[in-house]
Structures are given as C-alpha cells and as structure tokens.
Amino acid sequence: MPVQRMFRARFRRLLSLDDPPERTALAFSIGVFIAFSPFLGLHTIAATVIAFVFRLNKIAIYTGTFINNPFLTIVPIIVASYAIGAVLLGRPFSISQEGLDLLRHPELLSGEYYRLLFAQGWQLLLPFTIGGLILSIVCSLIAYPLTLRALRAYRRQRLESKADMASSGSAGASVNHESTRN
C-alpha cells in the first residue's frame, strides 16, 4: 500500500535526524496531537506555525501530523472522536432525524435552514471537539515515549554498528601493518 510505504519512509527519515532524540520525539508527539485535534483543515498550518515558533524539526512535526491521512485515517479518527465525546456527554452515537433531513434537503436560500443547521451542528460539533481533544492528548502522550524509545534504540544500534565497523577496520589495518613489517 503506497500510504504505508510513504509513512515508513517518513519514519525512517525521522529516525535519522540529527536533533537530540528528546526534541525529535517532542516534535513528533506535538504533530500527533495536531493530527488528532478537531481543527480539520488547519493541521498543516498549525504544524508549520508551531514548528517555526518553537524551532522544532519540521520533518518530525509533519510526520506526526500526517498520521491523519485524508485517504486512510481521517474517517476512523472523526468517528472515534465523535464516539468518545458522545459517550462522555451522555449523547447517543447517532445523528438525529432532524439533522439527517437538513443534510438531505438543503434549502440554501433560507435563513431558517441555516439556523437549524447551526443548532444541529452543535449537537455534532461539541462531542466531536471534546472527543478529538481527548484523543489528541492521549495519543500524543503515548507517542512521545514510544518515539523516544525507538529513536534511542535506533541511535544505539547505529553507534554499535559504527563501533563494530571501526574495530573490524582497525583490526584489519593492524593485520596489514604486521604483514608489511615481516
């Protein structure tokens, strides 16, 4: 699947950043917070502004932000956000018949239509916003330690590989040096 390959490539690039692992993990987790936030359509703008204001790594924050992919994850995130908010507010997990009728039969030139649409919109928007904010907080709090652990493990492995290569290279050099003296 091309989206999964794209995310894996971005994550591999994230692993190879030169920033300290704590800063990279922080930027990524802020991106995850933005990805799950209810401010649809403003995710990239928010990530850019936050990255510039706090001088965070743009690759890390965008990688976290783009977890919310319009082709793959946006619908499950919206549904989960609404469901969590509806449960917390004690509301049903459904759209009222009145709300469905407004969506099915728009009367775009009627002031009453917009008044009803706004009233029904709040019935959907409030649970979605509360659920989205909760998901943002929980997912970003989970993302930070997991990303930090992955970054540290990757860097430790990379250092060990370099050390192994250096020791095998120096061992080979000393063998060559010994053979030239004899």
Separation CA 10–CA 67 (nearest Å)? 11
The pLDDT assigned to 182 comes to 47
CA atoms within 13 A on the CB side of 20: 3
Query: Is the C-alpha dihedral spanning 89, 90, 93, 96 positive or negative?
Result: negative
Sequence length of the chain is: 182
From first to last of its 182 residues, what are the pLDDT tens digits of the chain?
565 666 666 666 666 667 889 999 999 999 999 999 988 888 899 999 999 999 998 889 998 998 877 667 778 888 888 899 999 999 887 777 777 776 677 776 778 877 877 787 788 888 889 999 999 999 999 999 999 998 899 888 888 887 778 777 665 555 455 444 44
Radius of gyration of the chain (CA): 25
Instruction: Note if the pTM is more than 0.75.
Output: no
